[in-house]
Copies of this chain bind each other. A is one copy, B any other.
């Protein structure tokens, strides 16, 4: 990738702490048996959590830091029997801007961290945003 100073930079707000250590062992979707995990939120961003409550349905947006950003076509689910498909028609982590969207439920809230799940992101994955689930139009 070229580096262009005009390209927007993400500032991670925290990190995933999960029992999932590597992509090889991780489920491909939260609904496929993924565990709960902690979202450790940096102190500077903690004020942004005001109003988040246990039971809320959120979308966690992560930066899939191990992804290959030069991939534009994949065999879905890494199965060579599936025809090559554009990454924008899939949830492949390998894509030009590897943003993970993870719908989760908030299980518990402690100082500086949230317990959420299920979530297939691996330990150490940077978190870039939390937003209310898309299902129902929330306050903006």
A residues near B (Cβ < 8 Å) are 1, 3-4, 7-13, 28-29, 31-32, 45, 47-52, 56, 58-59, 61, 63, 65, 69, 72-73, 76-77, 82, 84-92, 95-97, 99, 101, 103, 126, 128-132, 134, 137-140
Residues of B within 8 A of A77 (CB): 139-140
Count the copies: 2
**Nearest chain B CB to A20 CB, angstrom units:** 15
Known: A73-B50, A96-B45. A88 touches B12 (CB 8 A): no
Given A91-B131, A97-B128, A99-B131, 9 further pairs, Cβ under 8 A: A8-B63, A45-B72, A48-B72, A48-B88, A52-B88, A77-B140, A97-B129, A101-B131, A101-B134
